[in-house]
Structure 1
Amino acid sequence: MTDDSPPRPDAVRVGGPACPTCGGPVTPRHRPFCSRRCADVDLHRWLGEVYRVPTNEPEMPVGLEDE
């Protein structure tokens, strides 16, 4: 994601960590993200179950969920 805006004074220098959401420079205030918006996007992905931790557990047979 390219951006023509001037660099923020609180942004980490070039070559430093990148925001996992947009790839922009990380800011100390929102670390490991670059902004509150990217942190909220990541949270929304977790809450929407976009990210999942794989398991080896078999699925529950139909009809046994209530036990």
Structure 2
Amino acid sequence: MCEIMQNLQEEGRAEGRLEGRLEERTSLALDMLRDKKPIEEIIKYSRLTPERIKELAKQIR
């Protein structure tokens, strides 16, 4: 039973780290969009998909 709980905790931590990285990338992309950087540059540095960047661009207009 302890092993199962430990595995669940580890999965939760990994999921939290992944969500944190996604939030950082999204924040970076939003900042770059506000600075009117080229979409190719935003893709390169944020590593988000072009589709996600276009969605974000609609939010700030």
Same fold (TM over 0.5): no
Larger radius of gyration: 1
Higher relative contact order (CA 8 A, sep 6+): 2
State the TM-score bracket (shorter-chain normalisation).
0.3 to 0.5
TM-score, length-scaled by structure 2: 0.32
TM-score, length-scaled by structure 1: 0.30
